[in-house]
């Protein structure tokens, strides 16, 4: 951080986001759906840390890590890597690798649920919280959604109340190793409380938006909302 001023602004932006999205966040299905009753969260296994059955309905646990992409895996050397964060924000940024690695680094272990019915449990990740990136760019009061873009031409949209959850990270390390190219390295996003297509591999741009727009799969019949415990796969 260049100065205390800048740090103060980031802390203030974080508090503002927390106040604005906290209530919406706790009311999202993956936090508010009940374990009993007619509209209960569906799945099996012990309750996870956000109160849902560990394995969502229709999913099978695998220890392998399948690869899904659009048939092209872009190679981005670290000295060419950039992440642009722009749109409905007061302070758009272009981060180079060193800038990204200077941000607070978080270790977290979370589950990965692919819409094609496999789940990989307890993946150890290292990366930067989306929330910290949001505080850095200071979203305008009009911002409601983001669109994430990959270096391969992919895109996917996420509401801010989902993206600001503390387990949403932009990760560069998985299983103690640098994230491989096939899984989206140098950096991908993860969304443990939504199906995994909401996390862009090879992430290159995050656009804050004042209204919703659909991403690549959302335009092609996948669900806009992608709630694993509601079996919310297709629209
Ligand atoms: N840039 C990009 N991100 C992407 C995809 C993609 O094709 N391109 N596929 C999505 C889908 S459908 C899934 S299930 C996960 C798969 O991640 P994995 O290949 O590491 O298992 O990445 C998501 N993110
Ligand atoms: Mo997927």
Residue 97 Cα to ligand 1 middle (Å): 22
Residue 60 Cα to ligand 2 middle (Å): 14
Q: Is the CB of 67 under 6 A from ligand 1?
A: yes
Q: Whose CA is nearest to atom 11 of ligand 1?
A: 197
* 58 dihedral zone (left: phi>0; alpha: psi -120 to 50; beta): left
> What are the distances in angstroms from CA 68 to CA 9, 22, 90, 207?
39, 32, 35, 23
Residue 67 Cα to ligand 1 middle (Å): 7
Strand 188-190 and strand 169-174: the pairing is: antiparallel
- Where are the domains positioned within the chain? 4-68+75-230
Q: Tell me the two tokens of residue 179.
A: 């994230």
Quickly list DSSP for 107-125: EEEEEEE-TTSEEEEEEEE
Task: Render each residue's pLDDT in the chain as its tens digit; 235 residues.
Answer: 457 888 899 899 999 999 999 999 999 999 999 999 888 999 999 999 999 999 999 999 999 999 999 999 999 999 999 999 999 999 999 999 999 999 999 999 999 999 999 999 999 999 999 999 999 999 999 999 999 999 999 999 999 999 999 999 999 999 999 999 999 999 999 999 999 999 999 999 999 999 999 999 999 999 999 999 999 999 9
Ligand number, closest to the Cα atom of 216: 1
Q: Tell me the two tokens of residue 27.
A: 């009311």
Question: What is the model's pTM?
Answer: 0.97
Q: Taking Cα atoms as reference points, which of 140, 157, 166, 165 lies closest to residue 206? A: 157
Q: Tell me the two tokens of residue 131.
A: 């929330």
The CATH number of the structural domain formed by 4-68+75-230 is 3.90.420.10
Contacts of 47 (CB under 8 A, 6+ apart): 35, 53, 54
Q: Whose CA is nearest to atom 23 of ligand 1?
A: 197
Q: Is the CB of 210 under 6 A from ligand 1?
A: no
Q: How far apart are CA 170 and CA 121, in angstroms?
A: 18
């Amino acid at each position: 951080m260049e100065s205390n001023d800048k740090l103060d602004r980031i802390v203030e932006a974080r508090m503002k986001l927390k106040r604005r999205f906290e209530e919406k966040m706790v009311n999202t299905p993956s936090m508010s759906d009940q374990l009993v009753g007619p509209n209960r969260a569906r799945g099996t296994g012990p309750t996870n840390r956000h109160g849902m059955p560990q394995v969502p309905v229709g999913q099978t646990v695998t220890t392998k890590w399948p690869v899904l992409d659009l048939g092209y895996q872009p190679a981005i050397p670290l000295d060419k890597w950039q992440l642009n964060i722009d749109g409905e924000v007061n302070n758009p940024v272009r981060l180079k690798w060193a800038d990204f690695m200077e941000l607070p680094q978080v270790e977290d272990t979370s589950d990965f649920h692919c819409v094609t019915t496999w789940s990989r449990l307890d993946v150890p990740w290292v990366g930067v919280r989306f929330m910290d990136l949001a505080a850095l760019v200071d979203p305008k009061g009009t911002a409601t959604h983001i669109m994430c873009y990959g270096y391969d031409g992919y895109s996917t949209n996420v509401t801010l109340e989902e993206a600001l959850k503390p387990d949403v990270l932009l990760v560069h390390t998985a299983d103690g190793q640098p994230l491989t190219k096939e899984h989206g390295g140098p950096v991908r996003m993860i969304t443990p409380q939504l199906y995994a297509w909401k996390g862009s591999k090879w992430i290159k741009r995050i656009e804050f938006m004042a209204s919703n727009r659909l991403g690549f799969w959302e335009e092609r019949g996948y669900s806009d909302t992608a709630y694993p415990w509601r079996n919310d796969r297709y629209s």
